[in-house]
Structure 1
Amino acid sequence: MINNISVFQNHDIIKVIISNPIQFNIEVFIVFGLLFFIPNKKLNGDEAFLNRQLTNEVKGLAMLIIIIHHLCRHVVSNANDLILFYDLGYVGVGIFLFLSGFGLMSSLISKGDENFFLKKVIRIYIPFVFMNLIWIFSDYYFLNIHQGIFKNIACIIGIIISDRNYWYIPFLILWYIVFHFVMKLKITNKYKIFILLFVSIIIIVNSTSGNGRGNAFSFPFGIIVALYKDRVEILYNNIKLKKTIVFKLFLICGVLMYFFYLVSNISTRFHLGKLLGVIYIISIGIIYCFYRKSIILEKLSLMILLLVSTTIFSLSDTFIYVSLSIYTLFSIVFVLLIVDNIKLHKTSIFFEFLGEISFELYLIHGALMYSYDFVLYRLPIQISFIIYLIGIILISAILNKLFNSINKKLNHVFINN
C-alpha cells in the first residue's frame, strides 16, 4: 500500500485555506473571462437554434461553474470565500439536464427512438461503470478501504453511489426511462408534457436529494423547447434582437434577487427563496397573458388562480425547491442569451473544448478534488487551482478519446449491424 498522506489529501478531513479570497475571485473571473473571449473562432456557418458549437460552449461554461461550486462546497475551509458559487452548481447541472432533454427530443423527432436504451448504455453507463471500477481500486490500493465484494459490485453498477457527485447519473437515467415510456403513449404532446411536469412535482415532493429537487424541471424544459422549437426560436431571436426588453429586465432582476438570496443568512434565505418562487410563477402568468390573445376575463382568471395557488403552495417548506427549480430555468435562458448574444458569431475555443469533454470532466473532477487531491493543498490556491484544472482537462481528454473509441466499436457491433 502507498502512504496516501504524502501523495493525496482528503478534503473531507483537511480543508484548504484561501489566504486572499478577493484576489482568488478576481483571478477566476479575469482568467476565465479572457478565455471566454479570446482566443475565439468563427462559427462554422451553423446558425441553427442551439447549434452544436453553442451548446458545447455553454456546457463548457456550466462544467467550470460546477467545478468551482464543488471547490466552494467541499474543499475550502470557508465557503463564504466563494459565496457567488455556493449555489450556482444547480444552474450548471440544470444546463446539462436541459440540453439532455432538448437533445433527446430533437433526436426522437428527427431519427426516432430505435435502440434508445442501448445507445444510452454505451454513451453514459459504460463510462460510469468504468470510473466506478477506478475509484474502488483506488480506495483499496491508496486508502486501504475494504468494502466487501457485494458492496463493491453495488458501487460498480451504481446501486450505491461511489462518488457524491454521481447522483446525477441515476437521476439522468430516471429521466431517460420516464422519457422513453411517456413518448410511447398514444396521447397528444400537451398531455405528455403534463405527465413530465407531474413527475417533476413528485421529485420535488418525495426526493431525498436536494440536487435533484432543485433541478426537477430542467429536463422537461429541454423537451418542451424541442417540441415547440419553431415558436421558441422566434421568441429567443426577438430577445436577442432586443425587441422584448421586458424579458431581459426580468432575467436581470432574477439574477439580482438571487444575489441577495446568496448573501442573506439561512433563515432569511429560506423566506426570500419562497418569495422568489412566487414572483417567478406570477411573472410567468403575466408573460403568458401578454403574449396570448385571449379575453380579459380569461387573463384575469388565470392571474387569480396563480396568485391563490402559489400563496397556498408557498406555505409548504417544499416550495423552496420549486423556487430553486424555476430560478434554474430562468438562469439557463440567461446563460444561453449571454453566450449567444455577446460573442458576435464567434465561439470560445477553450470553452467549446471543455464542452466536448464535459462528461469525462464530470466523472473525474470531484474525486480528484476532495478525495484524491494531488495538487490543491501543495501550493497557494491561486496557483494550484490552475494546475489542478490543467491536470483534469488532460486526463479527461484522454478518457474522451478512449470512451469514443469504445463507443464506436460497440455501436458497430450492437447497433449498426
Structure 2
Amino acid sequence: MIRTSQKEIKNTQLNAKELIFSDRTYFMGLAMLMVICFHFVSWVGFGKFLLPFLWGYIGVDIFLFFSGIGLCFSYKKYSYLTFIQRRAIRIIPLYMVGAVLDTAITSWQDGISFSSWDWFCNITSLSYYHIGGYLRDWYLSSLILLYLTFPIAYKYVNKCKSGGVIFTVILGLLAIIFVYSATGKNMPFQYNCLISRIPIFLLGILVYDRYTDIGNIENQRYRKVMWISMVLGMMFLVADRLIPISIGFVATALIAPALIYGLAMLHRHIGKSLMRIIRFIGIYSLEFYVGNLIIHVTIDIMPSKMAKVAYYIIGNLVFALMLIPFNKLVAKYCSSLIKR
C-alpha cells in the first residue's frame, strides 16, 4: 500500500494524469471503502438491498494499479535491498499481527490445535501456497510476492511496454482455461485472484514509465484503449455468469482503468471534509485492511444480524485506529535496527 502527502490540490485544474500522480491516497481510500463494502455484504448480508456492493472487490484492482505506480517511485529512489527493507517494514508486521490473531481465534472457535509448523506457515504466508496452515488471506500474501519480484516486473514492462501488458492478460486467461480443461475444476481461488490481477499491476508500472503518453488519460489514444478494455471487461463479466470457467477477476481487471477515470472525474465534486476522510483511509489502507480481516474471523461471535452490522461498522474504525500507532512504533523500531 502507498503513503503520500496530503497537500491540497486544485481539483478543477487537474487532468486525470496529474491527479493520479498527485493524489494517489484519494484513489486508495475509495478502493479500500469498496473492499469494506464488498466484505460487508459477503460477511453480514443484505446483498439484495446493497447490490452495487457485490462488485466492490474491484477495489483490489485499483489497489494493485496504484501499488504498481507507487512501487516505481520507491524502486527508482532506493537500492533493491533498501526497497525490500522499506516494503517489508510496511507490510510484514501487520501481516504477522493479522496472522497470529487469525490463527489464535480460529483455533479457539473451531477447537483446533494447530501445530508449530502450521503457525509458522500462517505467519510467513507459506500457507498461501498450500504449505502447512490454512489459507488466511490471498491479497497480502500476493502483495509480498509482488514486492519481492517487482524488479522483474519493472524490467518486463520497460522492455515490452503495452504489448507486454496485453500479452499478460491473454496468458492469464489461457492459464485459467487450461487448468479448467485439464482438471475439470476452476483454478484455486487464491491463484486466480493473483494471476487475473497481474495485468492491472503491470499497467500501473506502465503508466509510471510512460505517463507522458499512456498515463495522460486525456490522450485520445489512451481513452480509446480504455473504453475497449471496459467493453471487453463487461463481456467477460457476463460470460463469467454463463460459463463454468471463473473469469470474473479478469473482467474486473479490464474494467478497472475506466473506473479509475470515473473516480478521477468524481474527485472535483467531493467536499473537503469527505475528502479528508477518504485520504485518511487511503494513507492507512493497509491498517484498515488488516482490521477488516480481524472482523472476518470474529464477526460470527455476534448474536444477531443487527449486532453484526454495528460490530462491522464500528470495528473497522476501532481496529484501524489501534493498528495505526502500533505499525508506526514497529516501523520506527525496525528502521532504527537497520541503521545500526
TM category (shorter chain) comes to 0.7 to 0.9
Q: Which residue number corresponds to residue 151 of structure 1?
A: 118
Q: Is the Cα contact below 8 Å between 1:58 and 1:355 reproduced in 2?
A: yes
Q: Secondary structure of the equivalent of 1:191?
A: helix
Aligned counterpart for 1:172 among listed residues 143, 146, 159: 143
Q: 1:364 to 1:330 in 2, by over 3 A?
A: same
Give the structure 2 partner of residue 218 of structure 1.
200
- C-alpha separation in 2, matches of 1:413 and 1:149: 27
TM-superposed CA distance for 1:265, in Å, is: 9.8
Amino acid at match of 2:139: Y
Answer yes or no: is the 8 Å Cα contact 1:182–1:195 preserved in 2.
no
8 Å contact 1:101–1:223 — kept in the other structure? Answer: yes
Instruction: Note the alpha carbon deviations across 1:10-43, whole angstroms, 9 max, x for none.
Output: xxxxxxxxxxxxxxxxxxxxxxxxxxxxxxx981
- Any idea what the Cα deviations from partners look like across 1:327-368, whole Å, max 9, x if unmatched? 233223332x23434348886122112112211121131341
Alignment-mate amino acid for residue 275 of structure 2: S
- Structure 2 spans left out of the alignment, 5+ residues: 1-5, 177-186
Q: Cα offset for 1:148?
A: 2.0
Alignment of 1:224-235 (within 5 A): 224-232=206-214, 235=216
CA contact (8 A) 2:65 2:203 kept: yes
Q: CA RMSD in A?
A: 4.1
Superposition pairs for residues 55-134 of structure 1, below 5 Å?
A: 55-76=24-45, 79-89=47-57, 91-134=58-101
1:244-295 Cα deviation digits (max 9, x unpaired)? 6x949x759959x959967x9932xx59xxxxxxxxxxxxxxxxxxxxxxxx
Overall identity of the aligned pairs, in %: 19
Q: Is residue 2:337 matched to residue 1:409?
A: no
Q: 1:393 and 2:317 equivalent? A: yes
Partners of 1:213 and 1:325 within 8 A in 2: no
- Counterpart for residue 257 of structure 2: 329
The AA in structure 2 aligned to 1:189 is N
- Offset from partner CA, 1:158-197 (integer Å, 9 cap, x none): 11157866201222222223322354x6x89233765566
Contact 2:28-2:63 within 8 A present in 1 as well: yes
Matched, 1:266 2:194: no
Which amino acid letter does the alignment assign opposite residue 20 of structure 2?
L
Contact 2:295–2:315 (8 Å) recurs in 1? no
Alignment-derived partner of residue 299 in structure 2:
373
- Matched residue, 1:294: none
| Structure with greater Cα Rg | 1
User: Which of 279, 288, 296 is residue 361 of structure 1 equivalent to?
Assistant: 288
TM-score with structure 2 setting the length: 0.74
- C-alpha deviation, 1:410, in angstroms: 0.9
TM-superposition CA deviations, 1:20-70 (whole Å, max 9, x none): xxxxxxxxxxxxxxxxxxxxx981679754356x32222222112111212
1:50 pairs with 2:20: yes
